[in-house]
Structure 1
Amino acid sequence: MNEFIPGIDLDLFNDEPANVATTIQLLLILTVLSLAPSILILMTAFTRIVIVLSFVRTGLATQQMPPNQVLIGLALFLTFFIMAPVFSEVNEQALTPFLDGEIGQEEAFDRAATPMKEFMANHTREKDLALFMGYAGLDRPESIDDIPLTALVPAFAISELKTAFQIGFLIFVPFLVIDMIVASVLMAMGMMMLPPVMIALPFKILLFVMVDGWYLVVQSLLLSY
């Protein structure tokens, strides 16, 4: 029976450098794959898009319509659409040369980080970046290459959160006006026991459809980048 069972070599640090290098590459690939969701959320346009879409649903007060799967799926495809030039540059400058064996891992990482840094720096407030640079005791950077990812990523994330909440506030205003008008009318008619949210919901949906709300929201998101 034993002759049919293949042997498994668990000695990762043997005397053959090629095997060690392959093992390290596999470990790095697995590490990157495990961090991929965090990279997608915090280093791309996904954060702003999914928060704004959530604000739209909350403003409409439609509970789970559209469902989370639809919002996240739409946010993902919008993220890929917005980030397509950046991903293409990363693929051309870093991924393809690395897979072809033309450059090493460190150089591939540096090349891949440059387009991502440029994108994040263009949408990061100077105040947010200065917060993390100052806390880390780093000097004022002369160029984007001098900004470490450990400071740029959280600065970009809080900048995206502020921008998303600003857009969300503007989305909430017309819906809030409708709620106030409906509540005032119901109170004036003496219908205090009738929930204003139930009456305002169809008017909000009607307004959102008449102005082509999804088109305007997606257009605003695209123009914001």
Structure 2
Amino acid sequence: MTARSVLSRVRPVRPGRRRLVLAAAMFAAGFAGLAAALLWGGPALAQSLTLDLGQEGGSTTARLIQLVMLITVLSLAPGLLVMVTSFTRIVVVLSLLRTALGTQQSPPNVVVISLALFLTGFIMTPTLREAWTNGVQPLIEERIDEFEAFDAVAQPFRGFMLRTVRDKDLRLFEDMAQVGPAETGLNAPLHVLIPAFMISELRRAFEIGFLLYLPFVIIDMVIASVLMSMGMMMVPPVVISLPFKLIFFVLVDGWYMVAGSLVRSFGVGP
């Protein structure tokens, strides 16, 4: 048997089988390298993390309390945004507007909340700037302590809430907390002022929502009457009235009117 006949009988290696052999060889080499690194590698050095809480016992306790208070404030930040700013009124009005239009999830919740946040930031800019200048910046520069900074930050928000809260709502919580009017004003306790401010904001939001609902209810009634007169009782009036409500809202420049009215309701702008 000649060498040529032997070579002719040897089957060529298929490309797929060749790639499989190559992958197995690479895996074996990588596994061998990893085993060598684990067996002959040097000791691993972890970075140390230290938290300086002071040297004395009293200082350590005070710093621990400050740390707990900071974590608490950060966890309550979304709630504070809702409670002491214009966010409540704006987001409720926008939600009622979406319901009045009958668009269900359009605009979606993300868009509604984002618009409410930016309008809140626009309205609250003077208050936030005053709180930063009088409270946060001196605290960063270590000119005042944490308690003085809290009072300085709370004072602008207290003034904002007092300008918009309804006197009747404030008197209600003053009576329940047994706090006289002489003790309120610019020094009104936050546990009295914040709930009064929130129910005042909800009341105004519902008032604005009622005014927004009226034209769309009229459109629904007109469409329903037309459908009944045509004998089309099985057709849902909402399906027919939705495009008319949308074009009506666009023609009257609804977003311009709603956004402008919300901002001006807080005394911002001319």
- Match of 1:94, as an amino acid? G
Among all aligned residue pairs of Structure 1 and Structure 2, give the percentage whose two residues are the same amino acid: 51
> Is the CA contact (8 Å cut-off) linking 2:53 and 2:63 kept in structure 1?
no
| Residues 1:181 and 2:222 are matched in the alignment | yes
Instruction: Return the match for 1:205 from 242, 246, 255.
Output: 246
TM-score between the two structures when normalised by the length of structure 1: 0.93
- Per-residue CA deviation, residues 14-49 of structure 1 (Å, 9 max, x unaligned), is 735554444333222111101101100010000000
2:135 is matched with 94
Moved more, 135-144 or 89-98: 135-144
Instruction: Assess if the C-alpha contact under 8 Å between 2:53 and 2:59 holds in 1.
Output: no
| Aligned residues: CA RMSD | 2.2
Give the aligned residue type for 1:144.
Answer: G
Instruction: Select 1:73's aligned residue among 114, 128, 131.
Output: 114
The alignment status of 1:148 with 2:192, answered yes or no, reads no
Which deviates more from structure 2 when the two are superposed, residues 167-176 or residues 138-147?
Answer: 138-147
2:85 aligned with 1:44: yes
> Which of 69, 72, 75 is the equivalent residue of 1:28?
69
CA distance in 2 between partners of 1:192 and 1:116 (Å): 54
Q: Which residue of 1 aligns with 2:3?
A: none
Correspondence for 2:158 among 103, 106, 117:
117
Amino acid across the alignment from 2:141: D
Structure 2 portions without partners, runs of 5+: 1-41
Cα deviation for residue 139 of structure 1 reads 1.1
Which ranges of structure 1 fall in alignment gaps of 5 or more residues?
Answer: none
Q: TM-score, normalised by structure 2?
A: 0.78
The structure whose RCO (Cα within 8 Å, separation 6+) is larger is 1
Could you tell me which residue of structure 2 aligns to residue 63 of structure 1?
A: 104
Rate the CA distance shift 1:58–1:208 in 2: closer, same or farther, 3 A: same
Query: Which range moves more in the overlay, 136-145 or 199-208?
Result: 136-145
Larger Rg, first or second structure (1 or 2): 2
Matched length: 225
Alpha-carbon displacement from aligned partner over 1:77-102 (angstroms, at most 9, x marks no partner): 11011000000000000000011100
Letter in 2 for 1:176: V
Pair 220,88 (structure 1): closer, same or farther in 2 beyond 3 Å: same
- CA 1:203 to 1:3, structure 2 compared with 1: closer, same or farther past 3 Å? closer
